[in-house]
Chains A and B, each alone.
Chain A
Amino acid sequence: MVRESRTDRLFMVAVYVLLATFLAVVLLPLLYILASSLSDPNAVSSGRVTFWPVDFTLRGFQVALSDPQILVGFGNSLFYTAVGTFVSVSLTLMLAYPLSRRDFVGGGLLTRMIVFTMLFGGGLIPTYLVVKSLGMIDTRWALIVPNAIAVWQVIIARTYLRHSIPRELFEAAEIDGASHFRVLWSIVLPLAKPMIAVIALVYAISQWNSYFDALLYLKSDDLYPLQLVLRNILVLNTQSNGMDVATAMERQQLADLLKYSLIVISTVPVLLIYPFVARHFTKGLMIGSVKG
């Protein structure tokens, strides 16, 4: 065993210090938000909270979860995420499977056509006009259809299908007389489960986190997803109408506390699944980095 030289040991100390700094910089703001969300409104407003709850209370969560606007937003987001993910994954596979086949005449051209849309687009208004002419303004469709397919995801799925499922399997199925629909259903779906799971999660998270399409296309607030409700309360400082607290002072303090609790409520569902899927995400990213 070669002994580490002095400079190497010094270097390793620097590496650990660097990583600890990274860790602290990312973790501390998260801890601050979490601690604030669990603290007394009075302590939050007077800035006494740092990284540990002061006068622990669940008041903020109670207020947030009794607000009809927030509950409606939460329900809408669940709907958009479930339906949107299903639509997106289906369309992605319908495109990726043919593109993964080398005997698909025109596949190269089609790939170039869809990749081009990543580089250049008509822009906000021309897209808005299309959505409008389809009568989708202020409907749930507007949040599901116009951004249903992500080109990047199609490329990941295509690369996976091309390289990770043995070609012999497809050939054997065809000799047995299976149609392409049958191959998709009985071979691709079961064998590509890890890839499909990764794609579904990426779509689900981006759907859960998106607000801009809602801002563009929705008018009625009973269709708003959670992120748009959050933006109105957190960024624009609009008071939520669900709060009927006695004094203005207390009301303001509660409004401050509510912000922290809301951040936690909207983020926890995503962060809860995250450690379980992080491993798969890493794999998915690596699939994406393989040149196809």
Chain B
Amino acid sequence: MTGRSLTLKALALSLVVFASPVLPVAADTTGKASIEDFSKIRIGGTDVSQSTLDNGLQVVVIPDRRAPIVTHMVWYRVGAADEEPGKSGLAHFLEHLMFKGTKNTPEGEFSKMVAQVGGQENAFTSQDYTAYFQQVAKEHLEMVMGYEADRMSNLILTEKQVNPERDVVLEERSQRVDRSPAARLSETFDQVLFPNSPYGIPVIGWKDEIQSLNKDDAIAFYDKYYTPNNAILIVAGDVTSEDVLDLAKKTYGKVEQRAEPGPRDRPHVQIVPGNREVSLQSDQVAQPSLQHGWIVPSSTTAEPTESEALEVLSDILGGGVNSRLYQELVIEGEMATSAGAWYQSTALDDTRLILYTSPKDGVSLEELEKKALSIVNDLLENGVTAEEVERSKRSMLASAIYAQDKQDVLARIFGTALTTGGSVDKVQTWPARVAKVTPEQVQAVAQKYLTETSVASYLMPAAQAENVE
């Protein structure tokens, strides 16, 4: 559903913008709010609490009293990158199957109960985590906690349920990937960018491997990873920490540990020599485009200050219409219709920084690529200005206040961080760390990571593409 995927996109976007507590921010005479004030913000506010139940379930509560609703999420520290070779797509397939009922709850009952109270529910899988959530009026929190706790240990699957659901996933793959040239090339790009790392394998899985997944695979994965000591409960909304903890003990507290998943040591990303390029030509491509990708550390694998500096770097380089790439390629150079860059800071292992752009009619990919890389090189050689750094920091930190406006965004920020090696404290003090980033640090991370040869990707229309209309 397009609405749904847009929602996820917007929410995931906020993973790099973070939220804040209620804190008035003063403006100076030019209307600019001060970085100093922003830096004092604690994301999620001063009432965020954390604890751990006897069975190992971690509990995080983020009070937000504006509307009588709660966002209830369970995050598992397992994602597609934890799958065994040959079983790609299993984490995501199990996510679908988690809606098929338990020994106590027939298929559909949980969803029906959520629907009856006008709640929303969904689930999502990434390389590093799998999460389930409901948003309901606060009086229904115990109900959803009860059902979610039940499916943490009592899932039952039959062939009759598993087989059509596998067809659904194959259709999902068709819809998201196979019918889109850009998405197909993106899979190839990831594969080449991340040698030796499961991050190169698509979350949804390779088609032939999805086709071979079965009930036993799903149950084995479930038994290994869906255990309270591998999960995090996050509740944001009109609740107190005490109430949530009481309810958590009554519901999740009864779930026994079934396994000890152990450390998440995956094969490490390798930087391999040589020029790596991928390309795809199709008559379904309307506009050519190109990407360059570099392997960079995540907030988990980075040295102190590096991840925040990379965030500022990607913002200055390509974070919006005022960024260098947009300004120089789209506005001044009049060579491109779009241009930008992004950095995925939340990941358990090393991650990526991506540059992308799409040429105007009459401009070749080669020409545009040359210019785009010269913008990167200029930054490597000459660094960034103090003014650029201030501007980027201000807009990143202000996003923290806007994100505060939505409790489910807040819950996701904590969930993502905690399943990728972060901590509650690290999330809360993000503004203070960003506020300290200097131009020198930005140039240093650029020189350290963007001087490696990038991986290039070219999406091109077929030579004799014909217009549909």
Tell me whether A and B are bound partners.
no
| Interfacial residues, chain B to chain A (CB-CB below 8 A) | none
